[in-house]
Amino acid sequence: MTTTTSPAGAKSNSPIPAPSGRLHRMAAPLAPHATAARVAGGVLTIIGTYLPWATFVLNEGRYPEQATLQFFTVPFGVTGFRLHLLIFGIAAIVLALVRVPGRGRILRGVGWGVVAVSILNGLYITVEGGGLGAITAAGGAVAFGAIVALLGGVLIVLGATAGGIERRPEWRWRLNPWAERGALVVAYLLLLFLVAAVLTAGGTGGAANPYSGAVFLSFLGALGGLLAALSASGLLNWVAALAERHRVFSVVVLLVVALALPLTAAGNEYWMTVAANIGVYAATAIGLNIVVGLAGLLDLGYVAFLGIGAFTAANLSGAAAAKFDVHLPFALVMVISAIVAGLFGAVVGSPTLRVRGDYLAIVTLAFGEIFVRTAQNNIFGLTGGSNAIPGIPQVELFGTRFSDRIVVGGIQLPAGVLYYVLIVLLVALVMLVFSHLKESRLGRAWIAIREDEDAARAMGIRTGPIKIMAFLCGATLAGFAGAFFAHKTGTVSYESFRFLESVTLLAAVILGGMGTVPGAVLGASLLFVLPEKLREFADYRLLLFGLALVFIMRFRPQGLVPDRHRRAELAHDPADEPPPGGTPATRTEVPA
Amino acid sequence: MLSTFLSQIVNGLILGSLIGLIALGYTMVYGIIQLINFAHGEIFMVGAYGGLAMFTYLLPTFVQQQWYLALPLLLIAGAAISTGVAVLMERFAYRPLRGAPRLAPLITALGVSVALQELVRNFYPGATAALPFPKVFVAGTWEIPVPGGTVPLRWTGLLIIVLSLVLAAVLTTFVNNTRMGRAMRAVSQDPDTARLMGVDTDRVIVLTFALGAALAGVGGVMYGTDLGFINIDMGFQNGIFAFTAAVLGGIGNLKGAVVGGIVIGLVKALGGQYLPGGTAYDYVWIFVVLIAVLVFRPQGFFGESERVRA
């Protein structure tokens, strides 16, 4: 029943040949003592976890001001990052002593998690005035918590590397189909709780909660370690293979799980609003992904289509400042907005007949700037200029305003939950459209054009109309999102559609991975959740963002979720990144 | 009537020669590594802030008051800062991407552009708002008499026109007549063959960035001197205009960049005066010109039409 192609023993598992890189060279002297190093790292991590508590509380001293970061008001009561460190430490010791397939790789993930958590907390304590890594000299008491834990993490990483990083084990468990579906449901429920935990980690930032950024980042660090370990254990690939086998089922479950978010800890008005905004940008990013990711046409003025959709909806919504005195039903407004945006998309796309590559990028940038300028000048009285178009009415259905709180089956749901449901359905629809387009004849033509336009033309693809179709489809999706945006926010101003927004959308697509659906959603979520959570860095948001673009292009141009077709071309380390599951036949077996 | 028209021509020439100066940097970099260096506008902005920093923090009062001492020092400071930033940018952002797919460096350039703007905004004291720039050059205007009135020409405006044209001429001479200039032309034609012939292509590329940046830095200081204030957005807009100018003149062509810049300046000044919508729409006209040129004559005024671009 349970078979694995990967040899189970760690010793028999030959490490990847010719280990190179600085890390390997640093770890080499440790090779004879790999297990000892791993255990020592785990122990140090646990000691680091308890050190500040031991220093201050055992000495019956007052706990220092940074207590909010330390979570030690209750002896042994570990929550937050101390809990994560404790778990990582124990896991490291257990893994060092027990043979598990791929354990070197798992340990490396755990180690990096410890490093990330302890660096982040150490830095915060240092910057917030607690002294270097919680060395609080006040009263003579000294605690090296963060530094000890950091040492532990480094030791785990080095020990894991020295002991040899095995190939990622590949699980080929095949269970009863219903059991497999059950496993999928469990996996998705875990995902839901993970998402809710990420959203609520650290609480809402602001003056009342100065450590929310620290707690959130630390949580992300721990999460990164956990995901790295899970991925190293091969379980993530197994779940992915399951999802592939039960595709329709998993899509339905995923949708239900997404709709269940309001029932979790993240179910309050604030997060419903943030999630709705993320949804708008995710839908727009998927539209942009058609143009950039599939057809390979760089569009630097794409947010204009979101704007055109939003202004169209605003003018048809019955708002007092609207140009037309009509109030159409929301569904109709959405369709009209999408069509108008799509038409503009075809217009903007028409230069693609003559212009290619980065010249095309500049043409789209020029269109985007023209849109912003004309909207700013309230052209034909359609955009309200600097007054914007305020007072767009809320969407109503059967007499219920979408901004109201509602009660379903005795459960009080937060305000804005209907908008959340609507945007989830909208994003699901957009994803469906995207994935069908991608697999269609049209989508394959786009990809062919992206790879080599001349060759595509030689193969009989009529490149001109097909490129315009890419702009048209992408703009239509953005128009849909724009109509939603107008009603949700209630005010549409040209300020929301500046060049920087286009760059942000582009960054979302690139960060997530060009040409993939989860990539665009993940990218949009990251780029809009992070600023929400890290308010204390608000001044540096754009700076980090610009640097992030540079670093992504430098180190991971394929994005976080690379496209399968592209993965082969762009993956940097073929030994480290085997092709995704489903092609076991081509895998070389590791000699025992 | 005539005086209004001529005044706008003068305004267009001032703006245009400044844009032409920036466009030289675009056109050289594109000519040599086919990269739209989006961050070049920010190099221009950084130069202006470099000049301002020199004036505010380094120059003693008696030097500040003598324009023939202060102006050259400011120009040198602006050029030096811009060059330094551009060389770092080339080394750490663009060089690792040589040989990457075409879109990668363009996106990197966008990132560098955003990052530079934000660096200045966050770390230059007071840069969150527009900062006053010292008018170190002779103030006042030359009222040129014409039938039916006078045409005002600011002395700083005249400085911009003259200095831009002189610098463009110096650069052209350098590229056409020196050994290094010949190496630049060789790399722009065929980098691989140039390397085989013993040209150090990395050095040539750095030099190209440095030359373009120095001109942009000088431009930034002159812009500040003329307007009396600078802000962090000045780079983006003028950078786009300069790119338009470079394309208009035929990208890769030095003379074309200057001519293109002057055309853009005239379009903005005359369009704001005479076209419907007035100055509120003058930017729109520039972008319309940009689109029209890219669509109908992508090789520009002086570009070679046979060059393959994709």
User: Distance from A543 to chain B by nearest Cα, in Å?
Assistant: 5
What integer pLDDT is reported at residue A587 of this predicted model? 38
Angle at A243 between CA A240 and CA A244, to 5 degrees: 90
Q: Which of A351, A545, A548 sits opposite B295 (nearest CB)?
A: A351
User: Amino acid identity of A462?
Assistant: R
Per-residue model confidence (pLDDT) at position A355: 75
Decide if A377 and B280 are in contact by the 8 Å CB cutoff.
Answer: yes
> Taking a C-beta distance cutoff of 8 angstroms, is the pair A303, A309 a contact?
no
Q: For residue B236, what pLDDT is reported?
A: 86
Q: What is the DSSP string of A214-252?
A: HHHHHHHHHHHHHHHHHHHTTHHHHHHHHHHHTHHHHHH
Residue of B nearest to A350 (CA): B295
ipTM, interface predicted TM-score of the complex = 0.85
Residue A448's pLDDT is 85
Q: How many CB atoms lie within 10 A of CB B306?
A: 6
Percent of chain A predicted with pLDDT > 90? 2
Tell me the CA distances in angstroms from A44 to A30, A53, A76, A144, one per residue in order: 17, 15, 17, 11
User: Residues A390, A322: contact at Cβ < 8 Å?
Assistant: no
**Among A111-120, A167-176, A229-238, which is the least confidently predicted range?**
A167-176
Q: Mutation test of the interface with chain A: which of B287, B290, B293, choosing the one with the most A Cβ atoms within 10 A?
A: B287
A540 contacts in chain B (CB < 8 Å): 118, 122
- The sign of the CA dihedral A86, A88, A89, A91 is positive
What's the count of helices (H) and strands (E) in chain B, helices before strands? Answer: 12, 4
pLDDT at A374 over 50: yes
User: Mean pLDDT lowest for which of A209-223, A267-281, B65-79, B100-114?
Assistant: A209-223
Bridge partners of residue A360, in order along the sequence: none
pLDDT, residue A591, reads: 39
Among A39-43, A344-348, A562-566, A573-577, the range scoring the smallest mean pLDDT is A573-577
Least confident range of A97-101, A475-479, B106-110, B277-281: B277-281
Give the gap in angstroms from C-alpha A454 to the nearest C-alpha of chain B: 10
What confidence tens digit (pLDDT) does each residue in A391-402 have?
777 777 666 666
CA distance A419 to A170: 41
Residues from chain B contacting residue A362 (CB–CB below 8 Å): 36, 243, 247, 290, 294
Burial group, residue A24, by CB count within 10 angstroms (0-12, 13-18, 19+): middle
Whether B281 sits inside 8 A of A550 (CB atoms) is no
Report the pLDDT value the prediction gives residue A16, as an integer from 0 to 100. Answer: 46
Give the confidence band of A72 by pLDDT, cuts at 50, 70, 90.
very low
pLDDT in tens, A124-166: 766 665 444 444 444 444 556 677 788 888 888 888 887 777 7
Name which of A348, A371, A549 to mutate to probe chain B: the one with the most chain B Cβ atoms within 10 A of its Cβ. A549
- CA distances (Å), origin A370, targets A359, A364, B287: 17, 10, 7
- Substitution target in A380, A383, A543 with the highest count of B β-carbons within 10 Å is A543
Distance (Å, whole) CA B22 – CA B178: 22
CB pair distance less than 8 Å for B114 and A361 = no
Measured between CB atoms, does A549 come within 8 Å of chain B?
Answer: yes
Inter-CA distances, A549 with A48, A447, A527, Å: 35, 24, 12
Whether the pLDDT of residue A508 is over 60: the answer is: yes
pLDDT of residue A574: 39
**pLDDT tier, A5 (very low <50, low <70, confident <90, very high otherwise):** very low
Number of CB atoms found within 10 A of residue B228's CB: 13
Q: Is A143 exposed, middle or buried (0-12, 13-18, 19+ CB in 10 A)?
A: buried
pLDDT tens track, chain B, 310 positions: 778 888 888 888 999 999 999 999 888 888 888 888 889 999 999 999 999 988 888 877 777 777 777 888 889 999 999 999 999 999 988 888 887 777 778 888 888 998 999 899 888 888 788 888 888 777 778 877 777 778 888 888 888 999 999 999 999 999 889 998 899 888 888 888 988 998 898 999 999 999 999 999 999 999 998 888 898 888 888 888 898 888 888 888 888 899 999 998 998 888 878 877 777 777 888 888 888 888 887 777 776 644 433 3
Distance CA A581, CA B27 (A): 47
B45 touches chain A (CB under 8 A): no
Closest to A289 measured CA to CA, from A510, A441, A565: A510
Asked if the Cβ–Cβ distance from A367 to B122 is below 8 Å, we say no
Q: Give the model's pLDDT for residue A57.
A: 56
DSSP class of residue B150 equals E
Q: What is the pLDDT of residue A71?
A: 46
Q: Measured between alpha carbons, how far is A417 from B126 in angstroms, rounded to an integer?
A: 43
pLDDT at residue A8, as a whole number: 39
Cβ pair A550:B108 closer than 8 A: yes
Which residue carries 């005795």 as its tokens?
A410
Residue B221 pLDDT? 92
- pTM of structure: 0.78
| CB contact A357 to B (< 8 Å) | yes
A406 in helix, strand or coil?
strand
